[in-house]
Structure 1
Amino acid sequence: MAAVLFDFSGTLFRIESTETWLRAVLTEAELPLAEPELLRTAHALDRVGALPGGTHPVEQIPDELAHVWEIRDKSAELHRAAYTGVARQVPLPDPALYDALYDRHMSPVAWAPYADAAMVLRTLRERGIGVGVVSNIGWDLRPVFREHGLDSCVDTYVLSYEHGIQKPDPRLFATACAALGVEPPDALMVGDDRRADGGAAALGCRVHFVDHLPVAERPDGLRPVLDLVG
């Protein structure tokens, strides 16, 4: 392998819990909720899939949002509309909180790298293997990498909203391979989503999947990548 392409959320980084996310926004807005109500609200937000990078919706996406939800990663506007839209199914004490919640999830402090992410990325760098991040996303994740000291380990970022296409569209993976100067068969795609990240196989990339788990539950899920690249 001459290059490794990584997904972002659930692969290299994990978003904070829905409870932490909601608590931080309520604290910032100085809008206290009684603890039982806060926990019920966090659970409800979790069920509708309101936290980008969090759990998938358990509740059915409302009909009026279904189309936007399917293409949410194609632009910043669609991404915000989709996630604030599903969040509005859950009553909050102030309507401004829906946008505040969305804004919070884009903050670097809301994200934590998996325990072995830095080691794997730095080892790849030392071996001279190109690294790209290919993500379905509606905002610029580069500040997250900078905040955690990992930006120097990434050679290129290919973000769906910057190209108007989303995984599993093979054009995103092709763009990353071209930026790294490698042919697809010489690249490994690492991700947590079988459908989206598996789209790289259509180009001839090798694909390796990791489990989208809380950081504490996946201490060494990325280490096998080093063996796969040889």
Structure 2
Amino acid sequence: MTIKAVLFDFSGTLFRIESTESWLRAVLDERELALSADEFTRAAEGLEAAGALPGGSTHQVNVPEHLAELVAVRDVDASRHRAAYTGLARQVPLPDERLYDALYDRHMTPAAWRPYPDAREVLAGLRERGVPVAVVSNIGWDPRPVFAGHGLDAFVDAYVLSYRHGVTKPDPRLFAAACEELGVAPGDALMVGDDRHADGGAAELGCAVHFVDHLPAEARPDGLRPVLGLI
């Protein structure tokens, strides 16, 4: 099989979101609000346990019944994504109601994300070889400013985002749309992701699939590098 294009997941694959503590601290500092050390620890632990940080921990979260339906379809449009995550965050008491939307807004900024250490090397290597790249993500917002903010936007040819298509991975239609945008047959594409279920759906379409581990950036310095050897 000759790989003519590569599809990448976004969160947990090319980029890693900041920690819950960093996320909360940044928003509190921006609004010049202070919590005691104990209050801050309780709030950060509560947000983590609630799964309120998009792209954060992959641990199983007990979603409240009144949010279950919304969370299940959060990635099909932008308004549901915001409502789902601000709803999860609101389970945790914070000193200002406006902080819930501020936390959501923070997670969409370049400062909240860090590329994996080998992301630039791999994306640049694919560009040098003339291999087109698409980002295929279950997401409720446009991550292109994050790529631009870290100088990686020049290496991506297409963004295929669930909230724009109304379907989520593992639905093969999302992978098919990415292959169509890159002008390749699915059998000539490689999907790279961290979610065996969601990203593994590309195999149904005939794409090759390569998995990486969803780890903090510093704990996965070269997880993407094998991709260059598969081309």
Fold in common (TM above 0.5): yes
Q: Which moved more, 1:19-28 or 1:54-63?
A: 54-63
Structure 1 gap ranges (5+): none
Question: Could you tell me which residue of structure 2 aligns to residue 144 of structure 1?
Answer: 146
Q: 2:94 is matched by which residue type in structure 1?
A: L
Question: Could you tell me which residue of structure 2 aligns to residue 166 of structure 1?
Answer: 168
Residue 36 of structure 1, CA deviation: 2.1
Q: In 2, are the aligned partners of 1:48 and 1:57 still within 8 Å (CA)?
A: no
Structure 2 gap ranges (5+): none
Question: Could you tell me which residue of structure 2 aligns to residue 91 of structure 1?
Answer: 93
1:2-17 aligned at under 5 Å gives the runs: 2-17=4-19
Q: 2:181 is matched by which residue type in structure 1?
A: A
Residue 58 of structure 1, CA deviation: 4.2
Tell me the matched-pair count.
229
Distance in 1, Cα, partners of 2:141 & 2:156 = 17
Residues 110-150 of structure 1, C-alpha deviation per residue, up to 9 Å, x if partnerless? Answer: 00100000000000000011100000111110011111111
TM-score, L = length of structure 2: 0.97
Question: Could you tell me which residue of structure 1 aligns to residue 23 of structure 2?
Answer: 21
Q: 2:216 is matched by which residue type in structure 1?
A: P
- RMSD (Å), alpha carbons: 0.8
Report SS of the residue matched to 1:162.
helix
Question: Could you tell me which residue of structure 2 aligns to residue 74 of structure 1?
Answer: 76
Q: 1:76 is matched by which residue type in structure 2?
A: A
Assess, with a 3 A threshold, how the Cα gap between structure 1 residues 34 and 58 changes in structure 2: closer, same or farther.
Answer: farther
Does residue 131 of structure 1 match 2:133?
A: yes
Does residue 191 of structure 1 match 2:187?
A: no
Distance in 1, Cα, partners of 2:81 & 2:59 = 15
Distance in 1, Cα, partners of 2:151 & 2:103 = 25
Residues 187-219 of structure 1, C-alpha deviation per residue, up to 9 Å, x if partnerless? Answer: 000000111111101100011110011111000
Residues 164-209 of structure 1, C-alpha deviation per residue, up to 9 Å, x if partnerless? Answer: 1111111000000000010001000000011111110110001111
Residue 57 of structure 1, CA deviation: 5.3
Distance in 2, Cα, partners of 1:196 & 1:71 = 14
Distance in 2, Cα, partners of 1:91 & 1:147 = 32
Question: Could you tell me which residue of structure 2 aligns to residue 176 of structure 1?
Answer: 178
Q: 1:194 is matched by which residue type in structure 2?
A: R
Question: Could you tell me which residue of structure 2 aligns to residue 210 of structure 1?
Answer: 212
Q: In 2, are the aligned partners of 1:75 and 1:138 still within 8 Å (CA)?
A: yes
Q: 2:80 is matched by which residue type in structure 1?
A: L
4+ long deviations beyond 6 Å? none
Distance in 2, Cα, partners of 1:186 & 1:124 = 15
